[in-house]
Homo-oligomer: A and B are copies of this chain.
Amino acid sequence: MENPFTHEYFMKKALQEAEVAFEQGEIPVGAIIVVENRVIARTHNLTELLNDVTAHAEMQAITSAANFIGGKYLKGCTLYVTLEPCQMCAGALYWSQISKIVFGARDDQRGFMSMGTKLHPKTEVVSGVLAQEAADLMLRFFASKRK
């Protein structure tokens, strides 16, 4: 039997969160955190609602997962996020020592890769999972804002 728990499987859940953000007028980024194929955090960007630049999907996912685990380190966890994390979120992920980061679309302007933010040496990165879907959602969002 094929393993149903693929990166695409979990990224679809992150995309569902991004859709919720979109509907609420937030820049549509969604994130989930998974440990042993179990989703322990499910969040989306809330910067507009909370009037808070720190309320990115990833930040809330880290806080939520740590709360679930009862400890602040996310070893053994995988973050799925629809957009490449920014400096702030990558910096938070550095502190969390998370095992894996899987992201969808690249963010060449503000993403941690072009900005040069350092992750924890033990953190593995996978990029480009359902990237087109995530990028399309962002484009659709900004197009709707320009109307």
Residues of A at under 8 Å CB distance from B?
47, 51-54, 59, 62-63, 66-67, 70-73, 86-92, 94-96, 115-118
Not counting A51-B71, A54-B92, A87-B94, a sample of 12 additional A-B residue pairs whose C-beta atoms are within 8 angstroms of each other reads A52-B67, A53-B72, A53-B73, A53-B95, A53-B96, A54-B63, A86-B91, A87-B117, A89-B91, A115-B118, A116-B117, A117-B117
- Residues from chain B with a CB closer than 8 A to the CB of A95 are 53-54, 86, 88
A92 touches B96 (CB 8 A): no
Select from chain B the residue with minimum beta-carbon distance to A85.
B91
- Residues from chain B with a CB closer than 8 A to the CB of A53 are 62, 66, 72-73, 92, 95-96
